[in-house]
Each structure stands twice: as structure tokens, then as C-alpha cells.
Amino acid sequence: MTTPVVTLREITGETVRTICELEPHEAQSGFVAPNAVSIAQAHFNPDAVFWAIYAGDEPVGFIMWRPEDDGASCFLWRFMIDGRHQGKGYGREAIALWLEGLPAQGYTLARLSYVPGAAGPHGFYLARGFQDTGETRANGERLMELAL
Ligand SMILES: CC(C)(COP(=O)(O)OP(=O)(O)OC[C@H]1O[C@@H](n2cnc3c(N)ncnc32)[C@H](O)[C@@H]1OP(=O)(O)O)[C@@H](O)C(=O)NCCC(=O)NCCS
């Protein structure tokens, strides 16, 4: 069986409900906000960029980022693959697609924060080349970054 091609697609009035219904495994719910909350927040932040992640024609996840004030770095704000679709390489492909597009837009640094915990995404991001900065936010989230 051929592996479906992963793409990032605009969310439309027709697809928004389906994207809002995508969710990680229950044990991972503390690691990312529900997609409905993220999409609502995006509508109050004109800098937010958000897409649905598709594998072939199947919606499998959600990604959202925003530029930072320095103009050189961007911040991965939300990222998730639905629990039914995890472990198939879709997260790896989606992050690669996001990162690939950034240098052409003038960005030199990708940053993110994660909630530490068992089954959390720290190892996933390390394997993608992100490094810990050693900073911890007031809410306990830890920061990572990747030079582009
Ligand atoms: C993190 C997440 C996006 C990974 O997506 P995924 O589609 O399951 O990941 P992939 O199948 O592409 O895995 C790619 C590689 O990372 C590894 N990996 C996946 N999740 C991992 C984790 N939590 N820790 C360490 N490694 C992980 C896989 O084993 C795979 O390794 P390989 O390259 O050696 O085969 C997904 O687990 C998720 O949505 N988690 C809940 C939400 C979350 O934590 N989001 C991040 C908010 S900061």
C-alpha cells in the first residue's frame, strides 16, 4: 500500500467542523488545546496562520503558528495529529512541510513550547532537530528552538 501524501490545507466553512472533531488520545489532552479553541483564538490574532493536515484526502491533524515580534523567528503555537492517525509518519511530514516553507518567508528560527510529561512530544521534537533552550515559562511549558 502506498503511503498517503501529507499536505497542509486551508480550513473552510465546509471542513471546519471535521477539523474541530480531530483530537489526540485522551491521555494527551493536556498537551494541546482543542482545535475549536485554537481556531477561535486564531480569529482574534491577525498574525496567526493555521492549516488542517491531510493524509491523502483524509483530514488527520491541525497546525497553527505565528511570527514573533523580532521578525526573524516564528512560533509553533498548536500542533496535533488525531489519535487514530498517530504513528504513521504524518506528524513528521507535517512539521517538515511547515519548516520547509519558513526560510523563503525570511524566518531564521523556529520556536515552540511543550508541556513536559510522559507520552509528551519532547522526544518527537528532539528527533526533528529542535533543541531545549533551558527556559521554562511561568505556566511550566519548556521552550525549544531550531535554527533554519
Ligand atoms: C506529537 C505528535 C504530533 C506526533 O505525531 P505522529 O503523527 O504520531 O508522529 P509520527 O508518526 O510522524 O512520528 C515520527 C517519529 O517520531 C516518533 N514519535 C512520535 N511521537 C513521539 C513522542 N511523543 N515522543 C518521542 N517520539 C515520538 C515516532 O516514533 C517516529 O519515530 P521514527 O522517525 O523513528 O519512526 C502526536 O503524538 C500528537 O498529536 N500528540 C498530542 C498533541 C501534542 O502533544 N502536540 C504537541 C503540542 S506542543
Superfamily of domain 6-147: Gcn5-related N-acetyltransferase (GNAT) (3.40.630.30)
- E strands, 15-141, where? 49-55, 58-67, 73-81, 109-114, 131-136
Question: Distance, CA 91 to ligand 1 centroid (Å)?
Answer: 6
User: From the CB of 80, is ligand 1 less than 6 Å away?
Assistant: yes
Question: Distance, CA 14 to ligand 1 centroid (Å)?
Answer: 28
DSSP 3-state assignment of 130? coil
pTM: 0.97
**Residues 6 or more apart in contact with residue 98 via CB below 8 angstroms:** 8, 63, 65, 76, 110
* 2 — pLDDT class (breaks 50, 70, 90): confident
Question: Distance, CA 77 to ligand 1 centroid (Å)?
Answer: 16
The domains of the chain are located at 6-147
Question: What is the side-by-side strand order in the sheet with 49-55?
Answer: 6-9, 49-55, 58-67, 73-81, 109-114, 142-147, 131-136
Nearest Cα neighbor of 60 from 91, 81, 39, 29 is 81
What length is written for the chain? 148
DSSP 3-state assignment of 112? strand
Closest atom of ligand 1 to CA, residue 31: 44
Give residue 36's pLDDT.
Answer: 98
User: From the CB of 125, is ligand 1 less than 6 Å away?
Assistant: no
Give residue 143's pLDDT.
Answer: 98
What does each C-alpha distance from 5 to 8, 26, 67, 101, 145 come to in angstroms? Answer: 10, 26, 27, 17, 27
The number of C-alpha atoms within 13 Å of 65 and in the hemisphere containing its C-beta is 20
For cell 522526544, what's the residue?
A: 123
Closest atom of ligand 1 to CA, residue 85: 7
The residue whose C-alpha atom lies closest to atom 48 belonging to ligand 1 is 114
38-75 pLDDT, tens digit per residue, is 999 999 999 999 999 999 999 999 999 999 999 999 99
* 118 — pLDDT class (breaks 50, 70, 90): confident
Of 22, 29, 124, the residue with max ligand 1 atoms within 8 A of its CB, to mutate for a pocket test, comes to 124
